Each structure stands twice: as structure tokens, then as C-alpha cells.
Structure 1
Amino acid sequence: MSNSALSLGYRRLFYLVLPNETSYEKLEDVPGYVEQAFPFFVSLIIIECLILFLQGRPLPRANDGMSSLSAGLVSLLHSLVFRPVELSAFVWAYHHFNIITLPWNSPYTWCLTLTGVDFAYYWVHRFGHEVNIIWASHQTHHSSQDYNFTTALRQSAFQKYFSWVFYMPLALFLPPSIFLVHIQLNLLYQFWVHTEVVKSLGFLEYIICTPSHHRVHHGRNQYCIDKNYGGVLIIWDRIFGTFEAERPNEEIAYGLVHSLNSWSLLYTQFCHLKYILSRLTEVKSVFEGLGVLFKGPGWAPGKPRLGLPEDIPQVECPVEKYNVSIAMWHTVYVWSHFAVCILLYLILTSNTTRLSVFMIYIGLVFIVVSLTSFGAQYDNRWYAGWLECARCSAALLYLWITWSQLYLVYPSMALQTVLVLYLVSAIAWGVVSITQAAHKSLRGNIPKKYL
């Protein structure tokens, strides 16, 4: 990678790019900035860890980081089989309702799109907190009790299916290619504000969203709730009355008002939806049911739309965070297999035109099952060993069936390494699971007075 490409990659994360660097006439010419940003995300995570280490502060936890990265990876999987929802809807609206054709290569169009996309994002984000059915997806992003760069990647797999509506008015006058540039840059910018390393940025705190502002947004202290929705610009919060400055003398407790206490990928994504469904079974009228869906998460009959502030539990810092200890070798094992999942994702994204839809779906299912297994291991669930044994066995079966095809495309050494990894893992987890089951059965047959 050349120095200019390296510089451009980092500058995209901070929106420090020029119109002539990021303007395209045709939609298909717009690069996938989010996919290209992966190595820059990793490098900044490493830099953040080094700074925290030098400052003598706690490093990101392996289990929390895995949970965040798993959610981030799942949020990208839909793009392998579907065109991005926001883009598809925007292109359709542009072709049917566009009333003004602005020049794609004008700096004024570029700046207008930056502002328009960020204004729409403010309302996407605000509705994500104030409308319960949308919060059911957005809460995933807030579920971490930590706050670092990995938290930025903890994304919902489903929020994009709600957010597209808010961008539709922009299709009246903005070219789709420029919209696609800024919807990506707007998302990339929000990565770097997820850190405790950066303190105040002086006068910039009045204009742009900074780490200080976003720390408040992720807090569950009473003064933090439903504040600072801005993506790039903080001026929208100042205009619409949702701004709150960080209080330097008050420690922020991060996460949800009611912590999930699980590293499960599926639970993190679906827990609030399950809660909404349970509430719908108890409603006494249609209007009450609509309130459960479209009013705030804290609403209940007889309460204001967003609930009562006094219902929010008081936070006493430092907060005891959810944690299940596993051995160091186990952590190394999980992260090694997670790296294989990342590699599989990169293979799928680079071969979408060569692979059949069926093969792509097989890869997606395997990744989701893998991430589910990793969460179960970090939660120390009773079924974790059996699930991991089944997952590794399924991988071996797949490699055996497709070996002749894979051998023609990928280096034999790499394939053999992966084969050995899954073979050893399947045998090891099979032995561990059988041993644990036998031990549990034996204990169950021994009278309690002898235990």
C-alpha cells in the first residue's frame, strides 16, 4: 500500500477528505470504504491498547471485544447476498421522485450531502432510542459495559432495515453516487469517537461530535440517557435540545440500563425483541400494543412517551461488570478460530461472482454458528463443548467435499493448516464434552453426603 493510499485510508475515518478525492459520477465506481477500512480499524485498536497500557489503564477485555467484533461481522454479512437497504431504497426514490439534478462533481453538492446525510442520521439515531421497536435493534450497539474502539464495531444486524426511511427525502435532489460516499464516511467517522483515550478537543467540541460527547451518549448515568445523537456534527443536538456535556468529575457507567450479562451473539441481537413480544401478550388494547411498539423503551400505560426519569436505576461507580473467566489457552483458541472466520468472510466477499448463492449461504451460516459457539464458550454454557465439536466436524465435512475445488484456488499449505486445526479441535472438544458428561453423570449417581 502506497503512502498516499495509507494516508487516504486514515483520513476517511476522520472525514478529512476533499470533494475531488471522494466524488464519483457512477454508482458502481464508488469504493466500498467500510470494507476497505478493516485494516485501519485494527491498527487503531492496537494503538489504543498501547496507549492504555502505557497509561497503566485496563486494556479491552477479550470476551467483550469478541462480542463486539462478532456483532460487527454479522452486521456486514447481509451485503454478501443483498444490496445495502439504504442504497436500494435511495436509488429507487431517486429514479422516481428526483426533482433537481445537482452536479455530481460540485463541491457544493458534496458539502450539501455531508450535511444532509448527517442531519438524517441524527433522526435515525434519535428514533433508534425513542421508538421501542427500533431500539430493539439499536440496543445491540449499547450493550457493551466497556467503551473502546471495539465497541464502535458492535453493530446491529437489523437496524439498517429501519433507517433507510429517514434518508429518502435526500433522493429528491442528491445523486446516488454522492449519497453512497457520504453514508459510508458518516459511518466511518463514528469509529474514532468510541474511546476514552481522547479527552477534550477545545473549540471543536461546539461543532463536531467528539469522544467526550459520545461517551455521554453511551452512559447509563441518569444525565446521559437519550443525549448526544449526532454522528459527525453535534450542532443538531444543540439545536434540538438533546445535548449534554460530559461531567469530568463524574465517572460514566457504560452499557444498557439493565445489563445483558451474556456474550451470546443471538441474545445480544434479539433479546429486546423477545421482551417486546412478551409485553405484547399482556396488553389490554390495540392502542396499548401500539404504545409498546412505537413509544419509548421505558413507556408503560399511564407514563409519558419516554417513560419516567425516576424509573432509571441509580448507578454506583465503579460498576461490577459481567465477566466469566476462562483459561488463557481457551481465549487463544477462540481468537484463532475467529481469525479463520474473518478469513472466510474476506474470501466470500472477494468471490461473490464466482461462488454460487448456495455456497455463499453455507459460508454465512457457518460464520453465524461459529460466532454463536464463541459466545457460548465465553459464557461457559453447558452445551458449548458439544456445539464447538459439531461446528468443527461440519467444517471438516465441508473441506472433504470441496477439497478438489479448493485445492485449485488456494495454497495447499493453507488448506492443510485449516484442516489440521479443525480436525484437532473436533477431536479435543469431543473428548472434553464426553468426559464432562460422564463426570456429571457419575456425580449424579453418588449420594450427596459423599460429595
Structure 2
Amino acid sequence: MDKVFKIPFTTGLRRMFYLVTPNETSFATTDDVPLIVEEATPYFFVFIGLELCLSVIKQDKRYRMNDAITSVAAGVFSRLPVVVLQSITLAAYCWVYDNWRIAQLPWDSAWTWCLCFLGQDLGYYWFHRFAHEVNFMWAAHQVHHSSEDYNFSTALRQSILQVYTSWVFYLPMALCIPPSVFLIHAELNLIYQFWIHTQYVPYLGPLEYIINTPSAHRVHHGRNPYCIDKNYAGTLIIWDRIFGTYEAESEEVVYGLTHALGTFDPLNVQFGFLQYMVNLFRNYSKWTHKLASLFCGPGWSPGKPRMGDPADIPQVESPPVKYDTRVPTWLGLYVLVHFILINYGYLLLMANKKILSHTHLLMFLGFLGLSLSCFGQLFDRKKFGVLLEAARCTLFLLADIVLSYTGFYSLESTSNILQVLRILFVTSLMIWMRNYNDVFGKKEEVEKKK
């Protein structure tokens, strides 16, 4: 337990709900701030496991393997830049604080802590609102809304690009609040939003007037017309009530984008809308239209209001229809096993990134990205995905030979693990060479499931 949970269990649990005190979460420098998100990772999977068990017991089908794996894969994608790049949010904040601050509030003051709590949450509200109302920002944020399920795994479906549009909203605090105080609240605000991604917590009465809750956030993720562009809160729902964007949960919420992506490929989930937006920009002949396609809302088109015409929002189906595909049971288990291995490899990469060369880091990141995309294409039943998966298995075995001869494995004793992996990937390659025609030999239509 100690190796999995790096901090006392109750401390980590309290962090998930922002139930911490200024004394225990105030630090002199950013180097002293603990890795809050990394330390919260085991709690994410405990919560997901418990919710999954509850879903199985209730037989309500709120988890689908293909959608949940896509969500977690998108979350892994979103964290890959931090392996090789410094956080642009923290770097920009520190630069403004070092060069432009007009005051220096004490880092160990409870007043500074509380002021930053409010300021960071207000900054998040306005970032989040702009991310829905400005198309080039929506191109990143839509990743989080692309799941047609709503469960704890959905919380992990994050964008690899979003951090490059959000950092500017927190810079006003850098005029007086120390970076270490900002960093701790940025991390706590992020992990707080995990627990509100569930359908099992009902309306919470008076708390709905103060904090962001599962009920309020369910509305935010809905594609019902009454849900669109509502409830942008991070931790405190008061901002939505003040600025007129609050909407209470009423009719049953149907989740996902108004126009579904229709894929489980996390690479397509991350960049599909961006490609669509770029094509839209190129197709417009007038520069006013080109600029509007970037800075107006996602629903805009020539002759429409800045945020689009509400009448254009599709009505939800009754019962709702989700994009889904049926694959053989053994293929689902195959993807699950390899997906667990890839996530284990990602955790090892994060733990050892400081001792790896830049070349090895890029190699491992490329293999991670390729693997996650392969799994999505297999769930999409794409024949190219099968060929890509066979190539991935081959690539692993070739890379293993190269790394063995270059002495890379001398860093630590990994012989037993490597033997298991070699057997697994050789077996996997043989599976695809043998079963390709059996699995995807016949043309089958994507099945729409209720």
C-alpha cells in the first residue's frame, strides 16, 4: 500500500475534495510543492474501480470498455508534453512574478492562500467559458466533451493542447501571489474536478449554491439544448450564478458533443476538430470569415450570431444513440492487456525521465502515442489498425534488439520483465498474422447501440 499511495491515504483522499488547510499546503518555493496530480493517480483508479463495480452490480451499463480506454488514453496523451517540456503555465507565471509583480504577498499567510484559491478558481471559470465560446480554444477543449458516457474515466479525457490556451488567464495573480501558492491551487483545483464526473451522486441540496457538484457538472457535459454553454465552474459554482451561466439539472442529461466524433482513436479525438477548423479556415475566401471561424463560437457560420443559432443545435434522440462497435471478446481482452502494459510503461517513464537521454524519451513517447492510437483503431474496426498493430509489435521487438545491443538495459535488472514482454509481443504478432482475415475479413458496418 505504501508503494502505491505515496502519502497517507486520508491525506490523498482529502485532497481529492479540496479538504486541506493553508498550513499543510503552503510552500516557500515551487520545488517544495508536492506532485499533487501524480500522487492522486492511484486514487483516480480506485474511484474508477469502485464506480465500475457499482455499475456492474446495478447493470446500468455506464461503462463501456472502448470509451473508457479512449478516455484514459486521452489523459495519457495530455500528460506527454510534461515529460520533455516545462509547464508553460508555470513558466509564464514565474516570469511575470519575477519581472512585473507590484507586491509580494507572504507565501505562508492564510490570507494569501485564500486569495489565491478565489483568484485561481475565477481564472479557471473565465478560461473555461472562453474555451466554449472561442473556436480555436474549443478545438482543444472539445476533447474533454467527446465522450458519450459520463463516469470517472471521463474526467481523465483531457486535451494535449489545452494548456497552451489556458495559461494567460492566471497571469493577473502573478502580480502579487507567489508561484508556489498558485501552483498548489492549480493542482488541487484540477483534481477536485475528478469526483464531479459521476452519475451516482444526486443533487446535494444547499451545497449546489456554493460548490461545483456532480449534478451541476452533468449539465455542463450534456448535449441537450438546455445544457449548452452552462456551468463552467471549477470548484465554486458561485461564479456561474454571478455571471448568469448557471443551469440546474432538470430533464435527463444526454452526454457528448452535439455532433459526435464517431471514433475511439485518441489521436483523432485530440486533433480531429483542429483539422476540421483548419479546413474551415482555408475554405473561407473572406478574411473576416476566416478570422470569425477562429474567434467566434463553434456554432458560428456566415450570417449567424457569434455563438451560432440555438435552433441549429440537434435535438437529442429518445432513447439516445451512441457511437459503438462490436469486437470479439478476445480482441477486447487483447487491447485491455496491452493497454495496461502501456500505462505501466508510462508510469515507469515518468519515474525515470530524469535519467533517460532525450533520444530515448522521444522514442518511448512515440511508441506510447502509436500504441494508444492502435488500440482506438482496433475498437473502430479499421483494417489499417490491424496492420498498424502488427507493425507496432514488430517495432517493439526490433527496438528491444537494438536497446539490448547498445547496453540500455544495464541501467537496472529488467531481465524477467523483458522475457515476459518478448513472449507477449511475439505471441501478439503471431495472432495478427493468423487471425487477420477472421477478425476483419468481412466488411461490417459500425453498429449503433442504444
> What does 1:30-49 correspond to in 2, within 5 Å?
30-49=33-52
Deviation at 1:59, TM superposition (A): 3.8
- Give the structure 2 partner of residue 402 of structure 1: 403
- Give the structure 2 partner of residue 449 of structure 1: none
2-side partners of 1:215 and 1:229: how far apart?
A: 11
Deviations 1:134-166 (A, max 9, x none): 000100100000000000000011010010011
1-side partners of 2:359 and 2:340: how far apart?
A: 23
Q: Report sequence identity in percent.
A: 48
Q: Equivalent of 1:198, from 196, 201, 209?
A: 201
* Structure 1 position 75 matched with structure 2 position 109: no
Deviations 1:49-70 (A, max 9, x none): 2222333322410000011000
Name segments (4+ residues, structure 1) moved above 4 Å.
Answer: 1-4, 434-437
Q: Equivalent of 1:16, from 19, 27, 40?
A: 19
* Structure 1 position 386 matched with structure 2 position 367: no
- Give the structure 2 partner of residue 260 of structure 1: 261
- Give the structure 2 partner of residue 355 of structure 1: 356
- Give the structure 2 partner of residue 320 of structure 1: 321
Deviation at 1:411, TM superposition (A): 3.5
Deviation at 1:422, TM superposition (A): 1.1
Q: Is the 8 A contact 1:407 1:415 kept in 2?
A: no
* SS of match in other structure, 1:351: helix
Q: Equivalent of 1:131, from 134, 138, 143?
A: 134
2:302 maps to a residue whose letter is: P
- Give the structure 2 partner of residue 431 of structure 1: 434
Deviation at 1:198, TM superposition (A): 0.2
* SS of match in other structure, 2:354: coil
1:195 maps to a residue whose letter is: T
Q: Is 423-432 or 206-215 further displaced after alignment?
A: 423-432
- Give the structure 1 partner of residue 270 of structure 2: 269
Q: Is the 8 A contact 1:152 1:194 kept in 2?
A: yes
1:422 maps to a residue whose letter is: F
Q: Equivalent of 1:57, from 60, 83, 91?
A: 60
Q: Is 43-52 or 396-405 further displaced after alignment?
A: 396-405
Deviation at 1:282, TM superposition (A): 2.6
- Give the structure 2 partner of residue 174 of structure 1: 177
Give the alignment's TM-score, normalised by structure 1: 0.94
2-side partners of 1:7 and 1:397: how far apart?
A: 45
- Give the structure 1 partner of residue 186 of structure 2: 183
2:185 maps to a residue whose letter is: H
Q: Is 206-215 or 10-19 further displaced after alignment?
A: 10-19
2-side partners of 1:328 and 1:197: how far apart?
A: 28
* SS of match in other structure, 1:410: coil
Deviation at 1:407, TM superposition (A): 5.2
Deviation at 1:333, TM superposition (A): 1.0
* SS of match in other structure, 1:105: coil
* Structure 1 position 369 matched with structure 2 position 377: no
- Give the structure 1 partner of residue 305 of structure 2: 304
- Give the structure 2 partner of residue 448 of structure 1: none
Deviation at 1:22, TM superposition (A): 1.1
- Give the structure 2 partner of residue 108 of structure 1: 111
1:251 maps to a residue whose letter is: E
1-side partners of 2:354 and 2:70: how far apart?
A: 30
2-side partners of 1:296 and 1:59: how far apart?
A: 31
- Give the structure 1 partner of residue 282 of structure 2: 281
Q: Is the 8 A contact 2:397 2:422 kept in 1?
A: yes
- Give the structure 2 partner of residue 417 of structure 1: 420
* SS of match in other structure, 1:302: coil
- Give the structure 2 partner of residue 344 of structure 1: 345
1:105 maps to a residue whose letter is: D
* SS of match in other structure, 1:83: coil
* Structure 1 position 233 matched with structure 2 position 236: yes
Q: Is 235-244 or 20-29 further displaced after alignment?
A: 20-29
1-side partners of 2:411 and 2:148: how far apart?
A: 45
Deviation at 1:131, TM superposition (A): 0.1
Deviation at 1:351, TM superposition (A): 1.3
Deviations 1:357-413 (A, max 9, x none): 110010100000000100010001011221111101111111122234325513322
Deviation at 1:435, TM superposition (A): 7.5
2-side partners of 1:223 and 1:80: how far apart?
A: 40
Q: Is the 8 A contact 2:36 2:187 kept in 1?
A: yes
2-side partners of 1:213 and 1:237: how far apart?
A: 10
Q: Is the 8 A contact 1:52 1:197 kept in 2?
A: no
2:153 maps to a residue whose letter is: T
1-side partners of 2:411 and 2:418: how far apart?
A: 11
Deviation at 1:18, TM superposition (A): 1.0
2-side partners of 1:215 and 1:136: how far apart?
A: 21
Deviations 1:250-296 (A, max 9, x none): 22110000011111112111121122122222323211111110000
- Give the structure 2 partner of residue 293 of structure 1: 294
Q: Is the 8 A contact 1:253 1:318 kept in 2?
A: no
Deviation at 1:218, TM superposition (A): 0.3
> What does 1:243-258 correspond to in 2, within 5 Å?
243-247=246-250, 250-258=251-259
Q: Is the 8 A contact 2:143 2:158 kept in 1?
A: yes
Give 5+ residue unaligned stretches, structure 2: 443-450
1-side partners of 2:266 and 2:195: how far apart?
A: 24
Q: Is 55-64 or 32-41 further displaced after alignment?
A: 55-64
Q: Is 201-210 or 340-349 further displaced after alignment?
A: 340-349
* SS of match in other structure, 1:64: helix
Aligned residues: 438
Give 5+ residue unaligned stretches, structure 1: 441-451
Q: Is the 8 A contact 1:68 1:151 kept in 2?
A: yes
Deviation at 1:436, TM superposition (A): 7.6
> What does 1:127-166 correspond to in 2, within 5 Å?
127-166=130-169
1:383 maps to a residue whose letter is: F
Deviation at 1:344, TM superposition (A): 1.4
Q: Is the 8 A contact 1:140 1:268 kept in 2?
A: yes
Give the alignment's TM-score, normalised by structure 2: 0.94
Q: Is the 8 A contact 2:62 2:149 kept in 1?
A: no
1-side partners of 2:154 and 2:335: how far apart?
A: 19
- Give the structure 1 partner of residue 447 of structure 2: none
- Give the structure 1 partner of residue 446 of structure 2: none
1-side partners of 2:71 and 2:381: how far apart?
A: 18
* SS of match in other structure, 2:353: coil
- Give the structure 2 partner of residue 209 of structure 1: 212
1:226 maps to a residue whose letter is: D
